[in-house]
Amino acid sequence: MYKSKLQELCHRLGLPLPEYTVTRKGPDHDSKFQAQVTVNGVSFHSTPDKCKTCKEAENLAAHFAFEYFSHNPPVPSTIDPSLTEAHSHPAADPGVLPKVTSSHPDPVGSHETHDSDPLAGPQPVMGDDPSFPSKISAGAYKPKLLELCRKYRWKQPEYKTAKEGPDHMPRFAATVVVNDVAYVTPHQCRSSKEATNLAACVAFNQLARLGFSSTADHIDIKVHQNNKRNAQPSDIRSTSLASREPSNSSEVLHVYKNQLQQYAQKQGLPLPQYSCETEGPPHDRRFRSRVAFSGKFYECQQFFTTLKEAEQAAAKVAVEAICPDEIQKGGGLFKTLLQELAQKLGFLFPTYKTVQSGPPHDTTFSSVVQIDEESYQGQPAKTKKQAELNAAEIAYNTLINCSDKCTKRQKTSTIPGTHIPHPPSTHNFSLCQ
């Protein structure tokens, strides 16, 4: 089935037809087959010692190639039918490959699962030349990628490694998630450190091609996204979640999983278990999640572009049904969430300044939290604690949603509930100690 799909994909992308080679191992009564398919100079191998027929091995290799080029179609300049030197893309088992969902059943019985990480579709990327992996200095790209994420206020890169082979000769593959997009090592490595660094190299180079640089001036991501959407279809060869419009979800949607887990721990209940379903082609996958909690299932009917958003939406349904009072108390999480976010972004811990005004019988508190030389003022409150929580909520929501706004600093404003570049004046107020 995947051989015909791969051939159709090659026709559509203008690639040379796939070339298959098959090797046979074992005695006649228990033969095992392994296939290799080469497409546009990239080689894909079926799982060793798994396939009992030549046809099954070729189909499995075609499956890996089809998933690869579906997520990372080469731009026209990289399509070279005369390319003779091939990259190796060994795929030993589904644990080594990125977790990719497919609307078609796997004919060879591999089992694909989802987990809570935001792998909304792998983006394996080749180097500019066949020898690029060997040119990587050990550990050189992980700091560069981290610096890039901090510059654009993305979450820190999340690395996953998969090991295979005997203990005396292990091989490692790695995946790194950056801004909800997964980047995969093009081949296996001898050590976990080498694999994670290679994944970081792939991610860094691909983001650099998209215009994201750790040394250039900060660009307006929103303009970059609009330019991609206005480009001709022939100019767009891959799709990442960073270039899609986000779903119309609440700005504080991300706190509901924390609230539900905190509620479960307080009540001594088992932790929530999430599952999801998908729709759409592999390059434009959308997710809908449901959560099992306390013997019941809670589901959001809306589909989202990332698995993380879908799980947060399901958690919101559960929180609103089970513990509505927790929503009112949910602001208590924001100081903790803000501190964690500041650490991820490489900032110092948030500092709070609270002022009080009014007569003793009707005191009002206003708080400002400062992070990375920026200040955020919350709504006034009757207590110092609540005023700080209000400021933390404003800061957290602003930082978590500012990937396309972080260069547009707002002008000074003393309106409660806004982001201000400097703390408000303490004139006629007494500073709370």
Confidence at residue 129, expressed as pLDDT on a 0 to 100 scale: 39
Q: Check pLDDT > 50 for residue 119.
A: no
Place of tokens 């949910």: 330
Q: Check pLDDT > 70 for residue 128.
A: no
Residue 212 Cα distances to 31, 139, 144, 217, 400, angstroms: 50, 20, 12, 9, 19
1-101 and 253-322 share one fold: yes
Confidence at residue 380, expressed as pLDDT on a 0 to 100 scale: 92
- The number of residues in the chain equals 433
Q: Check pLDDT > 50 for residue 298.
A: yes
Q: How confident is the model at residue 330 (pLDDT cuts 50, 70, 90)?
A: low
Region of poorest pLDDT, from 146-150, 172-176, 239-243: 239-243
Mean pLDDT of the chain, nearest integer: 70
Architecture of domain 115-234: 2-Layer Sandwich (3.30)
Tell which wins on pLDDT, 209 or 232.
Answer: 209
Tell which wins on pLDDT, 53 or 74.
Answer: 53
Q: What is the pLDDT of residues 332-348, one digit of tens each?
A: 667 877 887 787 777 88
SS3 26: coil
The upper half-sphere exposure of residue 89, i.e. CA atoms within 13 Å in the direction of its Cβ, equals 30
Q: Which fold has domain 253-322?
A: Double Stranded RNA Binding Domain (3.30.160)
Q: Are 175 and 114 in contact (CB under 8 A)?
A: no
Q: Which fold has domain 333-431?
A: Double Stranded RNA Binding Domain (3.30.160)
Confidence at residue 332, expressed as pLDDT on a 0 to 100 scale: 61
Confidence at residue 151, expressed as pLDDT on a 0 to 100 scale: 81
Tell which wins on pLDDT, 25 or 71.
Answer: 25
Q: Say what percent of the chain tops pLDDT 90.
A: 5
Give domain limits for the chain: 1-101, 115-234, 253-322, 333-431
pTM for the whole thing? 0.30
Confidence at residue 320, expressed as pLDDT on a 0 to 100 scale: 83
Tell which wins on pLDDT, 270 or 123.
Answer: 270
Mean pLDDT along residues 398-418:
50
Mean pLDDT along residues 140-155:
83
Exposure string over 356-372, b if 16+ CB within 10 A, otherwise e? beeeeeeeebbbbbbbe
Q: What is the pLDDT of residues 299-313, one digit of tens each?
A: 988 898 888 888 888
Confidence at residue 93, expressed as pLDDT on a 0 to 100 scale: 41
Q: What is the pLDDT of residues 76-94, one digit of tens each?
A: 544 444 443 344 444 434 3
Q: Check pLDDT > 80 for residue 268.
A: yes
Q: Check pLDDT > 70 for residue 170.
A: yes
Other Cβ atoms closer than 10 A to 3: 18
Q: Does domain 1-101 have CATH number 3.20.20.190?
A: no
Mean pLDDT along residues 228-237:
37
CA angle 50, 96, 36 (to 5 degrees): 50
Confidence at residue 242, expressed as pLDDT on a 0 to 100 scale: 33
Quote the tokens at residue 261. Answer: 């887990």
Q: Which of 148, 109, 80, 162 is nearest to 345 (CA)?
A: 148
Q: Which of 176-180, 211-215, 246-250, 321-325 has the highest mean pLDDT?
A: 176-180
